[in-house]
Structure 1
Amino acid sequence: MIVTDTIQKLVDEIIKGAKTPEEKIDRIYRWVQRKIRYISIKGSVSSGQTGHPAEETLENGYGDCSDKGILLCTMLKAAGFEAHPIILYVGSEDLYRCLPSTGGNHLISRVKLPDGHWQVLDATSLTYKYPYFSCGDHGASFVDAISKEVGIIPLNAPEENLERLEVKLKLYADGSAKADFKSIPIGMLEAGYRAFWEYQQKERYGVIVTNWMNSVFPRAKMDTFGIEGLGSMDSQLCEWAKVSVDSFPSVEGDIWIIDIPGVKYSMSGFEEVNLAERKYAIKYSCPRAKEYNVTIELPRGARVLGLPEGVKLSCEPYADFSITYSKKGNKITVHEKFRLKKIEIPTRDYQRYKDFIIAAKQAAEQRIFIKKPR
C-alpha cells in the first residue's frame, strides 16, 4: 500500500474542504465505489488473497474486491488514517478461526478512527455511504494479517437497515380517498434502494411505482410520483407518490370497514414459518427494521365505532413488533414497528418464533370500523 504522488494528489483533491475525519473517509469511500469498476477475472479464493498495487488499480480504473480494498486502504492512508485490508469468508459465521488459517473468499477494508474504533468498509459496492457496508459482510469471520488479528464482523443494528413509511390518507363522504405516500430508506437499505433505481430504465419508474402503490392502495390511480435524492449521494433518497381511490373502504350497510393502508400487508411473506416443524435453522441475510406512520382523516359526520387494541409482541432475542392506535379530532393515527434483531432462528426456538410471526400478522391485519356520514 504505497502512497505515490499521484495517489496523494488525488486524495488531497477529494478531501479538500472536508471538516471531520468521518467526512474525509466518506468522500474517499464513495469515490472508490463509484470511480473504480468492480471487475473480477480471478476465482473466489484468489480474489480474497491477492491484489494489484493501488497505483495500478487506479490507472486501470477497475479491479476485483482485493484491488478495490487495497486501493481504498492506500487512499485512506494518504488522508492520514491507518487502514488495513481484511480477508473474509462470507457466510462463515461458524468458521473456527482459532486454527491457523488465512483462507477467505472476499477482501474488504477497515479503518481506524481517531477514537480507536475500527470501522469496516466494503468498496466493491456502488451506493453505500459511510459508515454502512454490504449486508453479506456482517457476521463473517475475518483475518487482518497486518495487525495479526482475527474476529467476527458484528451484525448491524436493525435501525441501520430501516425503512420508514408514511401514509396520509383523506377519506371523503362518498367513500373516495386521496393519499400521500412516502418511503425513506435508512442506512444499508438506502444503498440497496439506490442501486435498484440506478439499475432501472427511467421509462420504467412509473410502472414500478404504480405496481407498488396498487399493493398499498388496491384499485388506486397514481396521480404523480417522485424519487428524490437519486442524482446525488449527498441527498437522502426518498420515494413518494400521490394516489386517488374511487372507493376506498369496504361497505356493510352504513358501516365503513377500513384496512389500514400499508400496514395490512406489512407482515406479508415469512413463508419460512409455514412448516409444522423445521430440521434446520432459519437464516436471514441481516437484521432489519420497518416503521409505518399512517394518518387517516375522516370526513365531517363520520364516527369511529372503535379502534383496535394496541399490540406489543416480543420474541427475544430475535424480533419484536408493536402497533398503536390513537384518535384526535377527525384523525386516526396508526404507528407500527417491526425489528428483526438476529439473523438465525435455531430450531429449538422455531415454534416460539412462528407463534410470534403469526400474532404479528394478525395484529397488522386488524381493521377500523367507521359509521358512515349521513
Structure 2
Amino acid sequence: MKKISIMMAMLFFALILQAQNMQDLIAKAGDSKTFPKSDVVVIFDSTSVEMQATGLSYYQMHKLVKILTLQGAKQNHIVKVGYDPLSAYVEIQKVIIHKANGDTKTIENPVLDYAAPARAIYWGAREKMIEVGRLEPGDALEIITFKKGYTYALLQGASDDDNDKYIPPMRGHFYDIVPFWSNEPILEKTYVLSIPKDKMLQYEIFYGELTSKLQFQGERIEYIFTKRNIMPAERESGMVSKNNVNTKLLMSTSPDWYAKGKWFYTVNEDYDAFTPTQEVQEFVNELLKGSKTELDSISVLTHWVADNMRYSGISMGEGEGFTLHNAEMNFTDRCGVCKDKASLLISFLRAAGFESYAAMTMAGERIDDVPADQFNHSVTVVKRRNGDYQLLDPTWVPGVRELWSSAEQQQGYLMGLPDGADLMYTPISPPENHYVRINGKSKLDKAGLLKGSFTITAEGQSDASVRRVFSGLRTEWDKNLEKELLNLHPNARLTKVTHTDNDKYLEEPVSITYHYEIPDYAFVGANEIIFTPPMASGVFKRAMAHLYTNTAAENKKFGFKDRCSRLVEINEEVELPKYDEALPLPTADKVSSEYVSFDGGYELNGKKLQFSETISLGKRVYEAEEWPEYRQAVLNQNHFADQKIILKK
C-alpha cells in the first residue's frame, strides 16, 4: 500500500502537536454548555491527499470527535465508511476511544464489509463498519481512515494493475469538492493536497473564506486549506442547497469546461454507447411513421423512452459511472437510471437521423464555475435543423407534456460535444407555460346547500401535477377525482365528472369538469349566512406547490426554491340566496415585482358574488431579497381561502 510522505504526515498531525497531548485538546474543546444545540463537537477533521501523475490519489483522514450528549453517544456507537468497490478502496485503520477519565481504548473489533442499503439504484455500493460500543458524554472518538480512488465508477479497459480501476475518469487529472461546512461544530478542518509540480491546479473558495498556503516540496506542490471554528450550518424552510450558501472548496486540474465536455463525448463514443442496433433502427422507423415534423419526431422518441423505460438502476458490472450503457442493453432491458434513459434516447435520435449527444447536469444544486465533477444527472441534447441544441430529459418527463422538465430551470449543464462545450444554464420558463385555470359557477340556497360546477385546465408542470389524479390503477381514478372534491368539504357529493383522455396526454392539456352539490356548505343562522366560495377556499392544491410554503418568517437569509414557475387564475360566480346586507368583503393588497405578482378580490352585484384572483410566480429559484413579495402572494391566496363571506338576513 502507498505510504504517505513524511512531510505530509508532519502536516497531517500538526494540529495535534499544537497541544501537549490529546487529552488537552479534548478538555479544551468545550461541552454541552459550550455547544447547547449540538450532540458532538469535532475537535479536528484533517484530510491529506497525495495525487500521482496518473490521477490516482491517496487520502489519509484523521478525525477527533467529542461526545457531548447521550444522543451523540448513541449516534457514534459505530464507525461507518461508504465506498464503491469499482472506483475506491477504503480502510478503517484505527479507532480509539479517549475516555473522559483519561483512559484510552483501541477498538479491536473486526471491520465488517457489507452491501450498502439501496433503493432504486443497485450498483454494488458497499460500507465498512466497526462497532465502537458504549460511549458517554465527555468521551472522544479518534478515527483514522485511508482511501485510494475516486467517487465515480467508469468503464476501464482490462489491466494487470489493480490500481488502474482507481484512476479517475479523466486520466491524469484531479478534482475534488470539499465542503468546509458541517451540521455539527468543527474547531478546525484542514485539507492538504500534494500534486506533481507539472500539474496545473485551479481552485476557488465559494461562499466564505479559508486560510490557504502553498509550498514547494521537491518535485511536488502542496496546497493547504484551513478553517477554524465552523459552526453548524443554518437552516431555513425551503432554502436552496446548503452547498450553495456555505463555504466549500472546488479544485480541478482540468483546464476548462470545454476539456471536460470533450472528454465526456470521447469516452462514450469510444465505448460505442449510442450506435443503434438493427432492432432499434427498425423500431424507431415504426414509431415515426405518423410523424410529420422535426419536433413531432423528437417528441415521439423522447416520450416513448420516458414512458416505457423503468427507472431502476441494476448493477451491470464495470461501467456504472459516466459511461452510458449501449443501445442493445438499454433497449433489451428497458430499465436503468438517468444515464441509461438518456443513452437510449440518443440511440433513438441517431437512428432517426438526428445529431444527438449526452449532457451532464446537477439537479437541485448550483454548479459553480470550476470544472470539477459537480454533476448528478444525465440528459440528452439534440441538434435542430437551425443549428440550435435542444435539451431533452426522458427521466423527468414521464406523463409530462414537456420535453425538458421546467422543474429543472435555472440549472447548470455541460454538453458532451466533439469539440467540447462551456457550462450553460437552463433558462427561466415563463409562468404562463405552467398555468392552472379554475373557472366555477355555483348557487347557494337559503338552507346552505351549494350546487355548482367548475372546470380546471392546466399546462406544463401544472398539467403534470393535476394529472397525478390519474396515476395508479385505472379503477382508482374515480376515487382520486372524488378525493379532490372532498378537500372542499366532507359533505361534498360528486354528481358528474368529465375529463380529457389521459392516455392521449400529448394531444391536449388536461381538463376536468366537476358537477357537485354540498349540503350544509354554508352556516345558516337566525340572522346570517356564513360561507367561503369553494374555489377561493382551495381545490387542486396539488398543482399549487407554493401554498405549502412555510410563511412564518418575514425575511430570509438564504435563497429559496419553488417546484416550478407557475400562473394561477381562479374565477367563480356564486348566486346568493335572498339577503338584506353583506358585511365588508375580504380584501388583499396587490403584489407586483419582477417575478411575483398577485391580484384578486370580490365584487358583489345584487345576488351575484364574483371572486377572482391571479398569482404569477416567475421562476423556480429565488434570491433571499425576493422573499417578502413571494411570501405576501402566498399569504394573500391563503387569506382568501380562510376568510368568510357574511350575509345578514
Instruction: Indicate whether the TM-score tops 0.5.
Output: yes
Cross-structure match for 2:502:
230
- Cα drift, residue 236 of structure 1: 3.6
- Alignment match of 2:439 (pick from 154, 166, 171): 166
Higher relative contact order (CA 8 A, sep 6+): 1
Cross-structure match for 1:339:
616
Name structure 1 gaps, 5 residues minimum.
none
Distance change >3 Å, CA 250–CA 196, structure 1 → 2:
closer
Cross-structure match for 1:209:
481
Distance change >3 Å, CA 325–CA 273, structure 1 → 2:
closer
Paired AA for residue 105 in structure 1: N
Counterparts of 2:380 and 2:524, CA distance in 1: 58
Counterparts of 2:281 and 2:581, CA distance in 1: 66
Cross-structure match for 2:531:
258
Residues 1:139 and 2:410 are matched in the alignment: yes
Q: How does 1:1-374 map to 2 (within 5 A)?
A: 1-41=274-314, 49-93=322-366, 95-97=367-369, 99-101=370-372, 103-125=374-396, 126-133=398-405, 135=407, 137-146=408-417, 148-149=420-421, 150-195=423-468, 197-199=470-472, 201-217=473-489, 219-233=491-505, 234-265=507-538, 269-275=547-553, 277-298=555-576, 305=582, 308=585, 313-326=590-603, 331-351=608-628, 353-370=630-647
Q: Do the aligned residues in 1 keep the contact of 2:523 with 2:530 (CA within 8 Å)?
A: yes
Q: Do the aligned residues in 1 keep the contact of 2:469 with 2:481 (CA within 8 Å)?
A: no
- Cα drift, residue 182 of structure 1: 2.8
Q: Do the aligned residues in 2 keep the contact of 1:47 with 1:66 (CA within 8 Å)?
A: no
Counterparts of 2:627 and 2:438, CA distance in 1: 29
Paired AA for residue 491 in structure 2: R
Cross-structure match for 2:244:
none
Paired AA for residue 216 in structure 1: L
Counterparts of 1:359 and 1:63, CA distance in 2: 44
TM-score by length of 2: 0.50
- Cα drift, residue 298 of structure 1: 3.7
Paired AA for residue 156 in structure 1: S
TM-score by length of 1: 0.83
- What is the DSSP-based 3-state SS (H/G/I as helix, E as strand, rest coil) of the residue aligned with 2:427? coil
Distance change >3 Å, CA 258–CA 131, structure 1 → 2:
same
Counterparts of 2:382 and 2:451, CA distance in 1: 49
Name structure 2 gaps, 5 residues minimum.
1-273
Counterparts of 1:250 and 1:115, CA distance in 2: 62
Distance change >3 Å, CA 110–CA 226, structure 1 → 2:
same
Q: What's the % identity of the aligned pairs?
A: 23
In terms of fraction of residues, the more helix-rich structure is 1
Counterparts of 2:385 and 2:638, CA distance in 1: 45
Residue by residue over 1:122-171, the C-alpha shift from the partner in whole angstroms, topping out at 9 and shown as x without a partner, is 11242123434262x32221111215222112232222333222222122
- Cα drift, residue 316 of structure 1: 2.2
Counterparts of 1:361 and 1:130, CA distance in 2: 29
Counterparts of 1:274 and 1:25, CA distance in 2: 45
Paired AA for residue 571 in structure 2: N
- What is the DSSP-based 3-state SS (H/G/I as helix, E as strand, rest coil) of the residue aligned with 1:148? coil
- Cα drift, residue 74 of structure 1: 2.4
Q: CA RMSD in A?
A: 3.2
Distance change >3 Å, CA 164–CA 304, structure 1 → 2:
farther
Paired AA for residue 118 in structure 1: Y
Aligned residues: 365
Paired AA for residue 635 in structure 2: I
Cross-structure match for 2:128:
none
Higher Rg = 2
Q: Do the aligned residues in 2 keep the contact of 1:317 with 1:342 (CA within 8 Å)?
A: no
